[in-house]
Structure formats: structure tokens, C-alpha cells
Amino acid sequence: MFWLTLLAFVVILGLLIFVHELGHFTVAKLTGVKVEEFAFGFPPKLICKKRGETKYCLNAIPFGGYVKMLVRMKKFDNPRSVFAQKGAYSSGDYCCRAW
């Protein structure tokens, strides 16, 4: 009974993590951000397949995942000036805020 409960826990947690990462992936695609890699699980990588501009990976440990995105950043003369500007994170060159 313990092993069945443990297996159910791993499957449900894995499904929850997958749906969470899929949300990041979907929002990135809908907002025009290039997704370099969509990975489910922690490395080492078991299977990777590149389709279009995105590499899809299945990793060995199913307790995590990530979506690697390409974000264009503006160059500022003073790195602190980005925080002084109103709306700096809501410009067209950033995808750092969803609201």
C-alpha cells in the first residue's frame, strides 16, 4: 500500500508541475517571447527533440521543470536607471510583467 501511495504522489505531483510549466510556455508563446527550451524534470536529460525554434526535453527526476526563454534587454548607461524609470518593465522590449 505504501508503494502505491508513493507512486500516486509522484504521478500527481509530476502532473501538477507539468501543467505549471506548460502555463509558462503558453504565456511566453502568446506574448511573442522565443522559447529556447521546455524541460520537464531535473537533469540528466533522457530525451530531447528540437521542433521549430524550441527544444523539448524529458529529464530523469520528475520533481521540477523549466522554460528557457530568450529575453531582449535594453542597454542602459547606468544600470540603476532602469529602476528609476516609470514603466521600465512594461515596455515592448521586456516581458517581465504579465499585468
The catalytic site residues sit at 21
* Separation in Å, CA 60 to CA 16, 24, 36, 72: 17, 21, 20, 31
With b meaning 16 or more CB within 10 Å and e meaning fewer, what string describes 50-77?
eeeebbbbebeebebbebebeeeeeeee
Question: Is-contact 41 22, C-beta < 8 A?
Answer: no
